[in-house]
Structure 1
Amino acid sequence: MQNKQVIHILEDDDLHRARLSSLVYGLGWHAEIYSDTSEFLRILPSGGLVLVRENPEGGAIEELLAALKSRGSWMPVIAFAGSANATTIVQAVFDGALDFLVLPISAPELLSAVGRALDRAGDVFAMRQRHALATAQVAALTPRESEVLAALVDGKTNKDIGQDLGISVRTVEIHRMNMLGKLGAKSSADAVRIGYDAINAGHLA
Protein backbone atom coordinates (compact mmCIF):
# COMPACT_ATOMS: atom_id res chain seq x y z
CA MET A 1 0.00 0.00 0.00
CA GLN A 2 1.39 3.38 -0.92
CA ASN A 3 2.12 5.92 1.82
CA LYS A 4 0.51 8.71 -0.17
CA GLN A 5 -2.95 7.14 -0.09
CA VAL A 6 -5.53 9.92 0.36
CA ILE A 7 -8.39 9.32 2.79
CA HIS A 8 -11.34 11.72 2.55
CA ILE A 9 -13.10 11.94 5.92
CA LEU A 10 -16.76 13.03 5.98
CA GLU A 11 -17.67 13.70 9.61
CA ASP A 12 -19.64 16.56 11.18
CA ASP A 13 -18.26 16.05 14.70
CA ASP A 14 -15.04 18.06 15.23
CA LEU A 15 -13.59 15.69 17.83
CA HIS A 16 -14.16 12.53 15.81
CA ARG A 17 -12.90 14.26 12.68
CA ALA A 18 -9.68 15.24 14.46
CA ARG A 19 -9.17 11.75 15.85
CA LEU A 20 -9.74 10.11 12.51
CA SER A 21 -7.39 12.55 10.78
CA SER A 22 -4.70 11.82 13.38
CA LEU A 23 -5.20 8.10 12.84
CA VAL A 24 -4.89 8.47 9.07
CA TYR A 25 -1.72 10.56 9.31
CA GLY A 26 -0.30 8.11 11.85
CA LEU A 27 -0.58 5.37 9.25
CA GLY A 28 1.43 7.45 6.79
CA TRP A 29 -1.46 8.52 4.62
CA HIS A 30 -2.90 11.94 3.82
CA ALA A 31 -6.25 13.07 5.25
CA GLU A 32 -8.69 15.50 3.66
CA ILE A 33 -11.58 16.50 5.92
CA TYR A 34 -15.15 17.62 5.18
CA SER A 35 -18.00 18.48 7.49
CA ASP A 36 -20.63 16.86 5.25
CA THR A 37 -21.36 15.30 1.89
CA SER A 38 -22.26 18.58 0.20
CA GLU A 39 -18.85 20.08 1.04
CA PHE A 40 -17.13 16.98 -0.34
CA LEU A 41 -19.18 17.10 -3.54
CA ARG A 42 -18.42 20.79 -4.09
CA ILE A 43 -14.73 19.91 -4.26
CA LEU A 44 -15.22 16.43 -5.79
CA PRO A 45 -11.65 15.12 -5.61
CA SER A 46 -10.52 12.85 -8.41
CA GLY A 47 -9.03 10.07 -6.32
CA GLY A 48 -8.62 8.48 -2.93
CA LEU A 49 -10.88 6.59 -0.57
CA VAL A 50 -13.84 8.01 1.37
CA LEU A 51 -14.45 7.38 5.07
CA VAL A 52 -18.01 8.52 5.80
CA ARG A 53 -20.27 8.35 8.83
CA GLU A 54 -23.50 6.46 8.24
CA ASN A 55 -26.67 8.05 9.63
CA PRO A 56 -28.48 6.23 12.47
CA GLU A 57 -31.43 5.80 10.11
CA GLY A 58 -29.13 4.90 7.18
CA GLY A 59 -29.00 6.46 3.74
CA ALA A 60 -25.73 8.41 3.87
CA ILE A 61 -23.82 5.86 1.77
CA GLU A 62 -26.61 5.55 -0.79
CA GLU A 63 -26.90 9.34 -1.08
CA LEU A 64 -23.14 9.84 -1.48
CA LEU A 65 -22.69 7.15 -4.13
CA ALA A 66 -25.79 8.29 -6.03
CA ALA A 67 -24.44 11.84 -6.08
CA LEU A 68 -21.06 10.63 -7.31
CA LYS A 69 -22.72 8.54 -10.02
CA SER A 70 -24.76 11.54 -11.21
CA ARG A 71 -21.44 13.33 -11.71
CA GLY A 72 -19.93 10.43 -13.60
CA SER A 73 -17.63 9.53 -10.74
CA TRP A 74 -17.04 6.72 -8.26
CA MET A 75 -14.76 6.25 -5.26
CA PRO A 76 -14.30 3.38 -2.82
CA VAL A 77 -16.25 4.09 0.38
CA ILE A 78 -15.85 2.79 3.94
CA ALA A 79 -18.72 3.52 6.32
CA PHE A 80 -18.36 4.07 10.04
CA ALA A 81 -20.67 4.84 12.96
CA GLY A 82 -20.66 5.19 16.72
CA SER A 83 -22.61 1.95 16.97
CA ALA A 84 -24.28 -0.42 14.56
CA ASN A 85 -26.37 -3.54 14.44
CA ALA A 86 -26.28 -6.23 11.78
CA THR A 87 -29.14 -4.63 9.84
CA THR A 88 -27.35 -1.27 9.61
CA ILE A 89 -24.12 -2.88 8.46
CA VAL A 90 -25.82 -5.06 5.86
CA GLN A 91 -27.77 -2.08 4.51
CA ALA A 92 -24.64 0.09 4.26
CA VAL A 93 -22.83 -2.65 2.34
CA PHE A 94 -25.89 -3.17 0.14
CA ASP A 95 -25.88 0.58 -0.58
CA GLY A 96 -22.27 0.35 -1.77
CA ALA A 97 -19.91 0.61 1.22
CA LEU A 98 -16.91 -1.70 0.84
CA ASP A 99 -16.53 -2.05 4.62
CA PHE A 100 -18.07 -0.88 7.91
CA LEU A 101 -16.22 0.20 11.05
CA VAL A 102 -17.50 1.07 14.52
CA LEU A 103 -15.96 3.88 16.59
CA PRO A 104 -13.48 4.01 18.17
CA ILE A 105 -11.43 2.76 15.24
CA SER A 106 -7.96 1.39 15.92
CA ALA A 107 -5.00 1.76 13.57
CA PRO A 108 -4.94 -1.99 12.74
CA GLU A 109 -8.69 -1.92 12.01
CA LEU A 110 -8.38 1.02 9.64
CA LEU A 111 -5.28 -0.43 7.99
CA SER A 112 -7.07 -3.73 7.32
CA ALA A 113 -10.29 -2.04 6.15
CA VAL A 114 -8.50 0.25 3.70
CA GLY A 115 -6.49 -2.67 2.36
CA ARG A 116 -9.64 -4.73 1.79
CA ALA A 117 -11.46 -1.79 0.22
CA LEU A 118 -8.64 -1.04 -2.20
CA ASP A 119 -8.41 -4.70 -3.18
CA ARG A 120 -12.14 -4.74 -3.94
CA ALA A 121 -12.09 -1.33 -5.61
CA GLY A 122 -10.33 -2.76 -8.67
CA ASP A 123 -13.10 -5.31 -9.16
CA VAL A 124 -15.81 -2.67 -8.65
CA PHE A 125 -14.15 -0.31 -11.12
CA ALA A 126 -13.92 -3.08 -13.73
CA MET A 127 -17.62 -3.81 -13.19
CA ARG A 128 -18.47 -0.13 -13.65
CA GLN A 129 -16.53 -0.09 -16.93
CA ARG A 130 -18.52 -3.10 -18.16
CA HIS A 131 -21.77 -1.41 -17.16
CA ALA A 132 -20.78 1.81 -18.95
CA LEU A 133 -19.86 -0.08 -22.12
CA ALA A 134 -23.08 -2.11 -22.01
CA THR A 135 -25.11 1.07 -21.52
CA ALA A 136 -23.53 2.62 -24.62
CA GLN A 137 -24.12 -0.53 -26.65
CA VAL A 138 -27.77 -0.88 -25.61
CA ALA A 139 -28.38 2.80 -26.39
CA ALA A 140 -27.86 1.98 -30.08
CA LEU A 141 -30.80 -0.46 -30.12
CA THR A 142 -34.33 0.33 -31.24
CA PRO A 143 -37.08 -0.02 -28.61
CA ARG A 144 -38.14 -3.36 -30.14
CA GLU A 145 -34.57 -4.67 -30.20
CA SER A 146 -34.24 -3.67 -26.54
CA GLU A 147 -37.40 -5.63 -25.75
CA VAL A 148 -36.01 -8.68 -27.50
CA LEU A 149 -32.73 -8.37 -25.59
CA ALA A 150 -34.54 -8.02 -22.25
CA ALA A 151 -36.58 -11.11 -23.08
CA LEU A 152 -33.43 -13.06 -23.93
CA VAL A 153 -31.95 -12.10 -20.57
CA ASP A 154 -35.12 -13.52 -19.00
CA GLY A 155 -34.39 -16.81 -20.76
CA LYS A 156 -37.29 -16.65 -23.21
CA THR A 157 -37.31 -18.45 -26.55
CA ASN A 158 -38.05 -16.80 -29.89
CA LYS A 159 -41.54 -18.31 -29.75
CA ASP A 160 -42.13 -16.90 -26.25
CA ILE A 161 -40.88 -13.48 -27.33
CA GLY A 162 -43.11 -13.47 -30.39
CA GLN A 163 -46.18 -14.32 -28.32
CA ASP A 164 -45.35 -11.68 -25.72
CA LEU A 165 -44.75 -8.95 -28.30
CA GLY A 166 -47.47 -10.01 -30.73
CA ILE A 167 -45.08 -10.55 -33.63
CA SER A 168 -44.03 -13.58 -35.67
CA VAL A 169 -41.09 -15.79 -34.81
CA ARG A 170 -39.45 -14.73 -38.08
CA THR A 171 -39.74 -11.06 -37.06
CA VAL A 172 -38.22 -11.90 -33.69
CA GLU A 173 -35.31 -13.56 -35.49
CA ILE A 174 -34.75 -10.44 -37.60
CA HIS A 175 -34.79 -8.17 -34.55
CA ARG A 176 -32.48 -10.60 -32.77
CA MET A 177 -30.01 -10.66 -35.68
CA ASN A 178 -30.01 -6.84 -35.90
CA MET A 179 -29.59 -6.57 -32.14
CA LEU A 180 -26.59 -8.92 -32.12
CA GLY A 181 -24.95 -6.88 -34.85
CA LYS A 182 -25.43 -3.56 -33.09
CA LEU A 183 -24.12 -4.96 -29.81
CA GLY A 184 -21.11 -6.49 -31.51
CA ALA A 185 -22.13 -9.76 -29.85
CA LYS A 186 -20.70 -12.98 -31.26
CA SER A 187 -23.53 -15.09 -29.86
CA SER A 188 -26.80 -14.88 -27.98
CA ALA A 189 -24.91 -15.73 -24.79
CA ASP A 190 -22.65 -12.73 -25.39
CA ALA A 191 -25.72 -10.52 -25.92
CA VAL A 192 -27.27 -11.81 -22.69
CA ARG A 193 -24.09 -10.85 -20.79
CA ILE A 194 -24.23 -7.34 -22.27
CA GLY A 195 -27.94 -7.12 -21.46
CA TYR A 196 -27.34 -8.26 -17.89
CA ASP A 197 -24.67 -5.58 -17.42
CA ALA A 198 -27.04 -2.96 -18.87
CA ILE A 199 -29.82 -4.05 -16.51
CA ASN A 200 -27.49 -3.77 -13.52
CA ALA A 201 -26.56 -0.30 -14.72
CA GLY A 202 -30.26 0.59 -14.84
CA HIS A 203 -30.42 1.04 -18.61
CA LEU A 204 -32.48 -1.91 -19.78
CA ALA A 205 -35.99 -2.67 -18.54
Structure 2
Amino acid sequence: MARPLVCVVDDDAAMRRALCQALTGIDADVQGFSGAGVLLQDREALGRAACVLLNASLRGISGLDLQSSLRVVGNHAPVIFVSGPCDVTVAVRALRAGALDFMLMPIEAAVLRVRVAEALVRAASADARRQRVQQVADALANLTAREREVLDRVVRGLPNTGIAAELGISAKTVEQHRARVMDKMRAGSLAELVARVTEWRVLSESV
Protein backbone atom coordinates (compact mmCIF):
# COMPACT_ATOMS: atom_id res chain seq x y z
CA MET A 1 0.00 0.00 0.00
CA ALA A 2 1.12 3.59 -0.68
CA ARG A 3 2.38 5.52 2.31
CA PRO A 4 0.04 8.17 3.69
CA LEU A 5 0.66 11.66 2.41
CA VAL A 6 0.69 14.97 4.28
CA CYS A 7 -0.23 17.81 1.94
CA VAL A 8 1.22 21.18 2.93
CA VAL A 9 -0.66 23.99 1.19
CA ASP A 10 0.85 27.48 1.42
CA ASP A 11 1.36 30.07 -1.30
CA ASP A 12 4.41 31.47 0.52
CA ALA A 13 7.31 29.38 -0.80
CA ALA A 14 9.55 29.98 2.22
CA MET A 15 6.81 29.10 4.70
CA ARG A 16 5.78 26.05 2.68
CA ARG A 17 9.38 24.85 2.71
CA ALA A 18 9.70 25.48 6.46
CA LEU A 19 6.51 23.55 7.23
CA CYS A 20 7.63 20.61 5.11
CA GLN A 21 11.02 20.57 6.82
CA ALA A 22 9.38 20.72 10.25
CA LEU A 23 7.63 17.44 9.42
CA THR A 24 10.87 15.57 8.69
CA GLY A 25 10.85 12.22 10.45
CA ILE A 26 7.10 11.58 10.59
CA ASP A 27 5.86 8.24 9.28
CA ALA A 28 4.41 9.64 6.05
CA ASP A 29 5.41 11.34 2.83
CA VAL A 30 5.21 15.14 2.79
CA GLN A 31 4.44 17.18 -0.32
CA GLY A 32 4.09 20.93 -0.69
CA PHE A 33 1.47 22.69 -2.82
CA SER A 34 1.56 26.35 -3.82
CA GLY A 35 -2.20 26.79 -3.68
CA ALA A 36 -5.57 25.16 -3.21
CA GLY A 37 -6.16 24.76 -6.93
CA VAL A 38 -2.88 22.89 -7.37
CA LEU A 39 -3.88 20.32 -4.76
CA LEU A 40 -7.44 19.95 -6.06
CA GLN A 41 -6.10 19.16 -9.54
CA ASP A 42 -3.72 16.46 -8.26
CA ARG A 43 -5.86 13.30 -8.14
CA GLU A 44 -3.03 11.10 -6.93
CA ALA A 45 -2.32 13.37 -3.99
CA LEU A 46 -6.02 13.65 -3.12
CA GLY A 47 -6.27 9.87 -3.12
CA ARG A 48 -3.33 9.47 -0.73
CA ALA A 49 -3.79 12.53 1.47
CA ALA A 50 -4.11 11.51 5.12
CA CYS A 51 -3.64 15.01 6.52
CA VAL A 52 -3.88 18.46 4.96
CA LEU A 53 -1.87 21.23 6.58
CA LEU A 54 -2.91 24.54 5.12
CA ASN A 55 -2.48 28.26 5.52
CA ALA A 56 -5.72 29.93 6.53
CA SER A 57 -4.96 33.02 4.43
CA LEU A 58 -4.35 31.50 1.02
CA ARG A 59 -4.76 33.79 -1.96
CA GLY A 60 -7.38 32.77 -4.53
CA ILE A 61 -9.23 29.78 -3.13
CA SER A 62 -9.16 30.40 0.62
CA GLY A 63 -8.23 27.85 3.24
CA LEU A 64 -11.86 27.60 4.35
CA ASP A 65 -13.00 27.07 0.76
CA LEU A 66 -10.36 24.37 0.27
CA GLN A 67 -11.52 22.64 3.44
CA SER A 68 -15.04 22.52 2.01
CA SER A 69 -13.88 21.49 -1.47
CA LEU A 70 -11.92 18.53 -0.09
CA ARG A 71 -15.12 17.07 1.33
CA VAL A 72 -16.94 17.66 -1.95
CA VAL A 73 -14.35 15.66 -3.91
CA GLY A 74 -14.49 12.85 -1.35
CA ASN A 75 -11.32 13.46 0.63
CA HIS A 76 -11.93 13.15 4.38
CA ALA A 77 -8.37 13.71 5.59
CA PRO A 78 -8.06 15.65 8.85
CA VAL A 79 -7.32 19.31 8.21
CA ILE A 80 -4.94 21.40 10.32
CA PHE A 81 -4.86 25.15 9.75
CA VAL A 82 -1.82 27.31 10.39
CA SER A 83 -2.18 31.06 10.53
CA GLY A 84 -0.65 34.32 11.56
CA PRO A 85 -2.78 36.74 13.60
CA CYS A 86 -6.31 36.55 12.21
CA ASP A 87 -9.95 37.25 12.91
CA VAL A 88 -11.16 34.75 15.49
CA THR A 89 -14.23 34.07 13.36
CA VAL A 90 -12.00 32.39 10.77
CA ALA A 91 -10.73 29.92 13.37
CA VAL A 92 -14.24 29.31 14.67
CA ARG A 93 -15.55 28.60 11.17
CA ALA A 94 -12.67 26.22 10.44
CA LEU A 95 -13.16 24.26 13.65
CA ARG A 96 -16.93 24.10 13.25
CA ALA A 97 -16.39 22.72 9.74
CA GLY A 98 -14.38 19.87 11.24
CA ALA A 99 -10.76 21.06 11.28
CA LEU A 100 -8.61 19.08 13.69
CA ASP A 101 -6.75 22.18 14.86
CA PHE A 102 -6.13 25.86 14.14
CA MET A 103 -2.54 26.68 15.07
CA LEU A 104 -1.15 30.21 15.32
CA MET A 105 2.39 30.89 14.14
CA PRO A 106 5.11 30.72 15.27
CA ILE A 107 4.66 26.98 15.81
CA GLU A 108 7.23 24.71 17.42
CA ALA A 109 8.23 21.93 15.03
CA ALA A 110 7.81 19.26 17.73
CA VAL A 111 4.27 20.42 18.49
CA LEU A 112 3.39 20.44 14.81
CA ARG A 113 4.72 16.92 14.34
CA VAL A 114 2.65 15.67 17.28
CA ARG A 115 -0.55 17.15 15.86
CA VAL A 116 0.13 15.80 12.38
CA ALA A 117 0.91 12.36 13.84
CA GLU A 118 -2.45 12.47 15.64
CA ALA A 119 -4.13 13.38 12.36
CA LEU A 120 -2.52 10.40 10.63
CA VAL A 121 -3.76 8.02 13.33
CA ARG A 122 -7.24 9.47 13.03
CA ALA A 123 -7.16 9.15 9.24
CA ALA A 124 -6.06 5.51 9.41
CA SER A 125 -8.86 4.70 11.87
CA ALA A 126 -11.46 6.43 9.72
CA ASP A 127 -10.21 4.63 6.61
CA ALA A 128 -10.49 1.28 8.39
CA ARG A 129 -14.08 2.10 9.36
CA ARG A 130 -14.96 3.04 5.79
CA GLN A 131 -13.48 -0.24 4.56
CA ARG A 132 -15.57 -2.22 7.06
CA VAL A 133 -18.69 -0.36 5.99
CA GLN A 134 -17.98 -1.13 2.34
CA GLN A 135 -17.26 -4.80 3.03
CA VAL A 136 -20.57 -5.24 4.83
CA ALA A 137 -22.41 -3.29 2.14
CA ASP A 138 -20.93 -5.56 -0.55
CA ALA A 139 -21.94 -8.66 1.42
CA LEU A 140 -25.47 -7.35 1.95
CA ALA A 141 -25.78 -6.71 -1.78
CA ASN A 142 -25.24 -10.44 -2.38
CA LEU A 143 -28.18 -11.48 -0.20
CA THR A 144 -31.48 -12.41 -1.77
CA ALA A 145 -34.60 -10.52 -0.71
CA ARG A 146 -35.67 -13.43 1.50
CA GLU A 147 -32.22 -13.71 3.07
CA ARG A 148 -32.32 -9.99 3.85
CA GLU A 149 -35.72 -10.41 5.50
CA VAL A 150 -34.34 -13.21 7.65
CA LEU A 151 -31.23 -11.19 8.50
CA ASP A 152 -33.25 -8.17 9.59
CA ARG A 153 -35.23 -10.33 11.99
CA VAL A 154 -32.13 -12.11 13.29
CA VAL A 155 -30.62 -8.73 14.12
CA ARG A 156 -33.85 -7.83 15.93
CA GLY A 157 -33.30 -10.89 18.12
CA LEU A 158 -36.17 -13.05 16.88
CA PRO A 159 -35.77 -16.84 17.23
CA ASN A 160 -36.24 -19.09 14.21
CA THR A 161 -39.83 -19.85 15.19
CA GLY A 162 -40.65 -16.15 15.44
CA ILE A 163 -39.05 -15.44 12.06
CA ALA A 164 -40.92 -18.36 10.52
CA ALA A 165 -44.22 -17.06 11.88
CA GLU A 166 -43.65 -13.53 10.56
CA LEU A 167 -42.56 -14.68 7.09
CA GLY A 168 -45.01 -17.56 6.77
CA ILE A 169 -42.32 -20.18 6.17
CA SER A 170 -41.10 -23.19 8.14
CA ALA A 171 -38.45 -22.99 10.87
CA LYS A 172 -36.38 -25.42 8.79
CA THR A 173 -36.42 -23.00 5.87
CA VAL A 174 -35.39 -20.20 8.22
CA GLU A 175 -32.41 -22.27 9.34
CA GLN A 176 -31.36 -22.77 5.74
CA HIS A 177 -31.61 -19.04 5.02
CA ARG A 178 -29.68 -18.22 8.18
CA ALA A 179 -26.88 -20.58 7.19
CA ARG A 180 -26.58 -18.89 3.79
CA VAL A 181 -26.65 -15.46 5.41
CA MET A 182 -23.85 -16.44 7.79
CA ASP A 183 -21.79 -17.72 4.88
CA LYS A 184 -22.32 -14.69 2.64
CA MET A 185 -21.67 -12.28 5.51
CA ARG A 186 -18.56 -14.27 6.51
CA ALA A 187 -19.65 -14.28 10.13
CA GLY A 188 -18.30 -16.95 12.43
CA SER A 189 -21.06 -16.59 15.01
CA LEU A 190 -24.44 -15.01 15.54
CA ALA A 191 -22.88 -12.40 17.83
CA GLU A 192 -20.37 -11.47 15.13
CA LEU A 193 -23.12 -11.20 12.53
CA VAL A 194 -25.26 -8.93 14.68
CA ALA A 195 -22.27 -6.78 15.67
CA ARG A 196 -21.16 -6.38 12.06
CA VAL A 197 -24.59 -5.37 10.77
CA THR A 198 -25.19 -3.05 13.73
CA GLU A 199 -21.84 -1.33 13.18
CA TRP A 200 -22.62 -0.99 9.47
CA ARG A 201 -25.96 0.66 10.19
CA VAL A 202 -24.37 3.14 12.56
CA LEU A 203 -21.28 3.96 10.50
CA SER A 204 -23.02 4.11 7.13
CA GLU A 205 -24.92 7.12 8.40
CA SER A 206 -21.74 9.01 9.22
CA VAL A 207 -19.17 7.82 6.65
Q: Shared fold by TM > 0.5?
A: yes
Q: Whole-Å Cα distance in 2 between the matches of residues 21 and 64 of structure 1?
A: 22
Give yes or no for contact 1:21–1:31 (8 Å, CA) kept in 2: no
Structure 2: runs of 5 or more not aligned: none
Query: SS of the residue aligned with 1:130?
Result: helix
The answer to which of 40-49 and 168-177 deviates more is: 168-177
Superimposed CA distance per residue, residues 171-191 of structure 1 (whole angstroms, 9 cap, x where no aligned partner)? 655433321121121222111
Partner of 1:9: 8
Largest Rg, 1 or 2: 2
Residue 24 of structure 1 is aligned with which of 15, 20, 23? Answer: 20
Q: Distance in 2 between matches of 1:161 and 1:89?
A: 47
The alpha carbon displacement at 1:197 in A equals 4.2
Does residue 42 of structure 2 align to residue 43 of structure 1? yes
Offset from partner CA, 1:60-91 (integer Å, 9 cap, x none) = 6465245236xxxx6x4223265434x85355
Amino acid at match of 2:8: I
Note the residue ranges of structure 1 that are not aligned, 5 or more in a row: none
Please list every run of at least 4 consecutive aligned residues from structure 1 whose deviation after the TM superposition is greater than 4 angstroms.
Answer: 52-56, 58-63, 150-153, 158-163, 171-174
Q: Aligned partners of 1:161 and 1:65: how far apart in 2?
A: 42
The one-letter code matched in structure 1 to 2:128 is A
Q: Which residue of 2 aligns with 1:103?
A: 104
Using the TM superposition, give the Cα deviation of residue 53 of structure 1 relative to its aligned residue in structure 2, in angstroms: 6.3
Q: What's the secondary structure of 1:50's corresponding residue?
A: strand
Closer, same or farther: CA 137–59 of 1 in aligned 2, 3 Å: farther
Find the residue that maps to 1:114 and give its secondary structure.
Answer: helix
Counterpart of 1:101 in structure 2: which amino acid?
A: F
Report what 1:124 is aligned to.
Answer: 126
Aligned pair in 2 of structure 1 residues 25, 5: CA closer, same or farther (>3 Å)? farther
Q: CA deviation at 1:114?
A: 0.9
Q: Is the Cα contact below 8 Å between 2:150 and 2:178 reproduced in 1?
A: yes
**Number of residues paired by the alignment?**
181
TM-score, length of structure 2 as denominator length: 0.62
Q: 1:111 to 1:139 in 2, by over 3 A?
A: same
In structure 2, the residue matched to 1:68 is 74
Query: Percent identity at matched positions?
Result: 24
Instruction: Assess, with a 3 A threshold, how the Cα gap between structure 1 residues 88 and 25 changes in structure 2: closer, same or farther.
Output: closer
> Are the structure 2 counterparts of residues 24 and 130 from structure 1 closer, same or farther at C-alpha, using a change threshold of 3 Å?
same
* Aligned twin of 2:116: 114
State whether structure 2 residue 95 is matched by structure 1 residue 89: yes
Secondary structure, in 3 states, of the residue corresponding to 2:32? strand
Question: 1:134, 1:197 within 8 Å by CA — same for their partners in 2?
Answer: no
